[in-house]
Amino acid sequence: MFTSRPETRPATVEVFVDGVALRVPEGASAAAAVLLAGAGAIRATPVSGAPRLPYCMMGICFDCLAEIDGVANAQACMVPVAPGMRISRQAGARDALAPFAEDAR
Ligand code: FES
Mean per-residue pLDDT of the chain: 88
Q: Rounded to the nearest 5°, which phi and psi values hold at 100?
A: -105, 5
Of 7-11, 18-22, 45-49, which range is least confident?
7-11
Q: Where exactly are the structural domains of the chain?
A: 21-92
CA distance 24 to 96: 29
At 57-79, the pLDDT tens digits run 999 999 999 999 999 999 999 99
Pocket of ligand 1 (CB under 6 A): 31, 54-57, 59-64, 75, 77
CA of 53 to the centre of ligand 1 (A): 9
Atom of ligand 1 nearest to the CA of 62: 3
pTM comes to: 0.81
CA of 4 to the centre of ligand 1 (A): 40
Task: Please check the confidence at residue 6 and state whether its pLDDT lies above 80.
Answer: no
Q: What angle do CA 43, 49, 52 make, to 5 degrees?
A: 35
CATH 1.10.540.10 fits 21-92, yes or no: no
Strand partners, 43: 52, 90
